[in-house]
Structure 1
Amino acid sequence: MRIAFLGTPDIAAACLKAVAGAGHEVAVVYAQPPAPRGRGQAMRPSPVQALAESLGLPVRTPASMRDPAEVEAFRALGLDAAVVVAYGQILPREVLEAPRLGAFNLHASLLPRWRGAAPIQRAILAGDAETGVQVMRMTEGLDEGPILSTARLAIAPDETAGTLHDRMAEAGAALLAATLVDIAAGRAVETPQADEGATYAKKISARTARLRWTRPAAELDCKIRGLSPFPGAWFEAPGPRGPVRVKALLSRAEAGSGEPGEVLDEALLVATGEGAVRLLRLQREGRGPQDAADFLRGLPLPSGTRLA
């Protein structure tokens, strides 16, 4: 098929690679404009733009797909279909209806659960045991279109948003490529979403990332893993020159009791409002991620230490 691909982050880049490798004619790739990235905050292209350019595909990075000129340019492409993966803009009806067969989206949840911007993180934050990737026909409603295909994934007890993202990118790329074959052949079956069970995956805010040790261990464990690696759930630890901000990147809920925030042993078991959390991987401000044993060699937090 002759398609346009619209996406921005790493998971979308994996899908673009699969779509381009499947033999479709990618007429154009749309991505969000270059933005400050990395430690130096230099202006850099998104993963999708970088990949498209390396493949020799034409790229557009409009600030808004609602611009009438952009809508007309999109209509003029003469597309069979549009493929959208985490593009980052709400597409108007005129864009969705421009391709001959319509626009199709890969979404990282089992709809109607976790419609919206952050389905991977929200599934872990909520303690879900299962998630998945789905291809759906796009409509004007937020992730409300009928489903064409599904791949289910179990969420492991030690899953982080980062590891789940990588697994979903691989599964989603394969699912999308296979579903496009069915769409082109006219044998794709569309199933309306259920009316019950809809939840919304609000965008993750760094303002809510601080750990509150008075909360139950199970909740804190989900928060740590769901916000890892970005933005990273954080707490303050005592340091030689005052409080040190530390991100917790991996954890495990365990039995234990003490005052919330109290370190209970020499291997970072921390008491919470109910149970305890074992901190397994951490990142001190301004430094790289470390396993707990290496972290403690640089910043000892012995039993009895109070974390804030």
Structure 2
Amino acid sequence: MLPETVWSMPPLGTFNLHGSLLPQYRGAAPINWAVINGDLETGVTTFFLQHEIDTGNIIDQKRMPIGPDDNAGTIHDRMMILGASLVLETTDKICTGTIETKPQSELISANTPLNPAPKIFKEDCKIDWHQPIDKVHNKIRGLSPYPAAWTEISDNNHQKTGLKIFETEIISDQSQKIGTISTDGKSRICIAGNGGSLLIKTLQLAGKKRMSAKEFLNGFKELHTYQISQS
């Protein structure tokens, strides 16, 4: 946060661009948390700075959809374009004196709880395979491509290896125990979850590069001997 002595210097005020529809998702990771929570819409907001972070009066907002195949990266890239446009429009309104602001308190309702967007740490990215399968899928989308959701797989000797997962598809198969890894050894990797399974499309073994399931299986033939480590 800039010190007040800096952001109070401009005679017309200082504004910020935030990657959410404030007052929702105040904090450091608004794009990630919107996707993690399965939201269907997000947007950008310009607002004047005040003492508490992300709480200043709203100048303007633009909305954008979150599609079922979007992840944090695709939303970020589209939001850059939308945000740049909003910054220009906001600057024009300030310069021409046509600006109208709205306190965020007017947008807060007891019936609509506020979702926070705190900074994301490594442990926040670990996958809990006992969560409903759609929540696991959304978590992977919301953390892709960075910082990336991760899990651990273990072999028959209980040796654990870290595995990042970037892209998945929900399939209805619930024939396996949660945490079971199944593969055809060629191009298909599935992990059983709570209420379905995830088809793993892109992933990264610890110490290796990110790759497709097919590329992964070309160099990791023994995957069928592994399972998800739940500890």
The two structures have a TM-score, normalised by structure 1, of 0.66
Count of matched residue positions in the alignment of Structure 1 and Structure 2? 219
* Residue 240 of structure 1: how far off its partner (Å): 9.8
Relative contact order: is structure 1 or structure 2 higher (C-alpha 8 Å, sep ≥ 6)?
2
Match status 1:199 vs 2:112: no
Listed as ranges, the gaps of 5+ residues in structure 1 are 1-89
- Where does residue 30 of structure 2 map in the other structure? 119
**181, 200, 217: which one aligns with 1:263:** 181
Q: Is the 8 A contact 2:41 2:65 kept in 1?
A: yes
Q: Which runs of 5 or more structure 2 residues have no equivalent in the other structure?
A: none
Q: Does the 8 Å contact 2:143/2:149 carry over to 1? A: yes
| Correspondence 1:73-92 to 2 at 5 A | 90-92=1-3
State the distance in 2 between where 1:185 and 1:177 align. Answer: 12
Q: CA deviation at 1:124?
A: 0.9
Query: Which residue number corresponds to residue 58 of structure 1?
Result: none
Task: Summarize the alignment of residues 71-110 of structure 1 with structure 2, pairs less than 5 Å apart.
Answer: 90-110=1-21
Are 1:131 and 2:42 matched, yes or no? yes
Cα root mean square deviation, aligned:
2.0
1:5-16 map, 5 Å = none
Name the structure 2 match of 1:277. Answer: 198
Deviation at 1:300, TM superposition (A): 3.2
Give, in whole Å, the separation in 1 of the partners of 2:41 and 2:182: 32
Identity fraction in percent:
35
| Equivalences for residues 223-302 of structure 1 within 5 A | 223-238=139-154, 242-257=159-174, 258-266=176-184, 267-300=188-221
Pair 301,281 (structure 1): closer, same or farther in 2 beyond 3 Å: farther
Aligned-partner residue type, residue 234 of structure 1: W
Select the residue among 50, 60, 75 that pairs with 1:164. Answer: 75
1:301 Cα shift? 6.0
Determine which of 208, 216, 219 is the counterpart of 2:124. 208
CA deviations over 1:283-305 (Å, ceiling 9, x no partner): 12222211111112122366685
